[in-house]
Amino acid sequence: MQDVFGYPQFRGQQGAIVERVSAGGDALVLMPTGGGKSLCYQVPAIARHAAGQGVTIVVSPLIALMQDQVGALQELGVAAAFLNSTLDWAEAQEVEHRLLRADLTLLYAAPERVLTPRFLDLLDKLHARGKLALFAIDEAHCVSQWGHDFRPEYRQLTLLHERYAGVPRVALTATADALTRSDIVERLQLQAAEVFISSFDRPNIRYTIVDKQRDPTRQLLRFIQDEHEGDTGIVYALSRKRVEEVAQALCESGLDAMPYHAGLPQATRAANLARFLRDDGVIMVATIAFGMGIDKPDVRFVAHVDLPKNIEAYYQETGRAGRDGEPAHAWMAYGLQDVVNQRRMIDTSEAGDDFKQVLTGKLDALLALAEATDCRRVRLLAYFGEKYQGPPRSPASPGPLPLSWAPPEGAGLARGGPSLRPVLPVRHCGNCDNCLNPPQTWDATEVARKLLSTIYRLRQASGFAFGAGHVMDVLRGRETDKVKQYGHERLSTFGLEARLGEPQLRQVLRQLIAMGAVHVDASAYNTLNLADAARAILRGEQALALRPLESGRSERKRERSA
């Protein structure tokens, strides 16, 4: 590591991993983005090649990523190459020859390439001569259908184990809740692997989650102008249309923004990506099509104007901020419509019931994070099974990652639904919105009961369910045409909550949907029905404490003073 890479010392668990893998053991490495995963197989590859053990095969899903890594290794004088569709026949031929001569230290290839008969034939020949040093399987979470980057080809990589049993394997990923983790072990047959888990904390990232207002684009604009003028950033939106709208709005306000989504012509996408990587102060507005392998160190903020699918996706996406270790910001605006949309996407998907249940569980965990009134970081890390150990001495300094930690007893690889373990708020990070400005909560239990009763009575009175707008109109006592048409002004809950405005009611409703007390029926005009968790609230067994709703103005003040 010192001779080739010029680093004075290993970071965190790198040393232990390198030792294990160099000695021929299997390993599963869970390390956050930017933690230094590459070294964990590159150093063993160099060591094993020098010891005459041959070539390390690196399975990597992205061509752009391969090219970067191979380029960097070649500059350091390491014999590395890749095999992918960008090579012409003669070039590929040349690489294959070097592979067969074991002249290469590392060979990078995509999983679908590795699984071709032609490639396997090459591996057979190498293996027969004892020149297969190591398999490194990067982005190993792609093997899991619960993850966000499922790639079916990854499943067939067990073949490497079956066919070349004695060759050590190291699998690496930056995302893995307990479920994904156990999936990786099972799917890649890594039962004999030693598991190395680094802390997933990114202390330099500040987490902020705000209530989505009527015009989230303006909210975003204010956030950027107030706190990130001239900074490089990424804005994530759910649909291509939203991406286009937001990018245009930012441009019209004088910011340097570009869209990125799968619907754009390939050339436009490549050009926008190249500009983003090259220039300073550019904002990429993107769908999740923009992501894996984007390694720009000085991204100062990642903003979500729509809710991501789950905490893993949120962590991955926000993790693209501040890879240089300097202060960075993860900002998200979240509202009722987000909950409705995500629930609908799950309900209307083709997936089976079990699968839907897992997706729902994962979404619920994210909603709990978004609704949390305590430390976001504690909750985020708890989701990955990690107990927050407090901030490192100097929060913004780069350098070694905080201490590695041991998984809690029995937490490790047990299969179980994703859940937020109850967290004792022993430590606070001091670098999230809730720590910087502990929210005053208000007791929304009574309002919640009124909302639930209204939903119930509407259904009883008319024999079918109604949507959020109508439910709120009835509760607020508004004599709309629809109210009069159905005679709902005669309901006992009509006008029962005339004090609160629609934004407050929406917030309560959102929480009720998030906690499974209200079900949104996507197949029937998003109408609302009572669900299981409603019972405890109606019976007065569960209270509901919510964050106060703030106007955009006071929110800005709050963030600025923070």
List residues binding ligand ADP (CB under 6 A): 7, 10-11, 14, 31, 33-39
Closest by CA position to 160, among listed 146, 172, 151, 170: 170
Closer CB to ligand ADP, 40 or 190, in the complex = 40
**C-alpha span between 67 and 39 (Å, rounded):** 16
Identity of the residue numbered 68: D
Closer CB to ligand ADP, 8 or 166, in the complex = 8
Closer CB to ligand ADP, 307 or 381, in the complex = 381
Q: Give the three-class secondary structure for 407.
A: coil
Q: Which does residue 375 touch among Zn ion, ligand ADP, none (CB within 5 to 8 A, set by kind)?
A: Zn ion
The CB-of-430 to Zn ion minimum distance in angstroms stands at 6
Site string for Zn ion, 375-414 (x = CB under 5 A): x-x-------------------------------------
Only one of the segments 85-93, 214-222, 422-430, 441-449 lies at the binding site for Zn ion (rule: CB under 5 A); that segment is: 422-430
Closer CB to ligand ADP, 38 or 511, in the complex = 38
Only one of the segments 25-33, 368-376, 408-416, 511-519 lies at the binding site for Zn ion (rule: CB under 5 A); that segment is: 368-376
The CB-of-426 to Zn ion minimum distance in angstroms stands at 12
**C-alpha span between 375 and 91 (Å, rounded):** 53
The CB-of-33 to ligand ADP minimum distance in angstroms stands at 4
Q: How far apart are the first and last CA of the chain?
A: 41
- Positive or negative, the CA dihedral 461, 462, 463, 466 is negative
The CB-of-14 to ligand ADP minimum distance in angstroms stands at 6
**C-alpha span between 145 and 500 (Å, rounded):** 43
Q: Give the three-class secondary structure for 396.
A: coil
Closer CB to Zn ion, 375 or 514, in the complex = 375
Q: Which does residue 342 touch among Zn ion, ligand ADP, none (CB within 5 to 8 A, set by kind)?
A: none
Other CB atoms within a 10 A radius of the CB of residue 5 amount to 15
Using CB under 5 A as the binding rule, the residues of this chain from 3 to 42 that contact Zn ion are: none
Closer CB to ligand ADP, 11 or 344, in the complex = 11
Closer CB to ligand ADP, 10 or 260, in the complex = 10
Q: Which does residue 429 touch among ligand ADP, Zn ion, none (CB within 5 to 8 A, set by kind)?
A: Zn ion
The CB-of-13 to ligand ADP minimum distance in angstroms stands at 11
Backbone angles phi, psi at 197, to 5 degrees: -115, 120
How far, in Å, are 235, 242, 250, 496 from residue 273 at the CA level?
Answer: 14, 19, 18, 53
The CB-of-376 to Zn ion minimum distance in angstroms stands at 5
Other CB atoms within a 10 A radius of the CB of residue 97 amount to 11
Backbone angles phi, psi at 462, to 5 degrees: -110, -10
Q: Which does residue 365 touch among ligand ADP, Zn ion, none (CB within 5 to 8 A, set by kind)?
A: none
The CB-of-431 to Zn ion minimum distance in angstroms stands at 6
β-pair type (106-109, 55-59): parallel
Site string for Zn ion, 425-464 (x = CB under 5 A): ----x--x--x-----------------------------
The CB-of-72 to ligand ADP minimum distance in angstroms stands at 8
Confirm if 47 and 39 have CB atoms less than 8 A apart: no
**C-alpha span between 46 and 3 (Å, rounded):** 11
Identity of the residue numbered 243: V
The CB-of-11 to ligand ADP minimum distance in angstroms stands at 4
Closer CB to ligand ADP, 9 or 523, in the complex = 9
The CB-of-111 to ligand ADP minimum distance in angstroms stands at 18
Closer CB to Zn ion, 247 or 432, in the complex = 432
**C-alpha span between 310 and 287 (Å, rounded):** 15
Confirm if 17 and 40 have CB atoms less than 8 A apart: yes
The CB-of-426 to ligand ADP minimum distance in angstroms stands at 28
Q: Which does residue 476 touch among ligand ADP, Zn ion, none (CB within 5 to 8 A, set by kind)?
A: none
Closest by CA position to 50, among listed 119, 1, 120: 1
Q: Which does residue 435 touch among Zn ion, ligand ADP, none (CB within 5 to 8 A, set by kind)?
A: Zn ion
Give the residue closest to ligand ADP by C-beta: 36
Q: How far is CA 214 from the centre of its chain?
A: 26
The CB-of-437 to Zn ion minimum distance in angstroms stands at 10
- Cβ-proximal residues to 348 (8 Å cutoff; 6+ apart), any chain: 522, 523
Q: Which does residue 11 touch among Zn ion, ligand ADP, none (CB within 5 to 8 A, set by kind)?
A: ligand ADP
Closer CB to ligand ADP, 66 or 367, in the complex = 66
The CB-of-498 to ligand ADP minimum distance in angstroms stands at 54
**C-alpha span between 372 and 325 (Å, rounded):** 26
Asked whether position 170 contacts Zn ion by CB under 5 A, the answer is: no
Beta strands in 110-256 (DSSP E): 132-137, 169-173, 194-197, 205-211, 233-236
**C-alpha span between 562 and 540 (Å, rounded):** 37
Q: Concatenated DSSP letters for 79-115? A: -EEEESTTS-HHHHHHHHHHHHTT--SEEEE-HHHHT
Backbone angles phi, psi at 88, to 5 degrees: -85, 180
Q: Which does residue 413 touch among ligand ADP, Zn ion, none (CB within 5 to 8 A, set by kind)?
A: none
Closer CB to ligand ADP, 11 or 482, in the complex = 11
Identity of the residue numbered 160: L
Q: Which does residue 377 touch among ligand ADP, Zn ion, none (CB within 5 to 8 A, set by kind)?
A: Zn ion
**C-alpha span between 426 and 315 (Å, rounded):** 22
Closer CB to ligand ADP, 45 or 210, in the complex = 45
Residues that bind Zn ion (CB under 5 A): 375, 377, 429, 432, 435
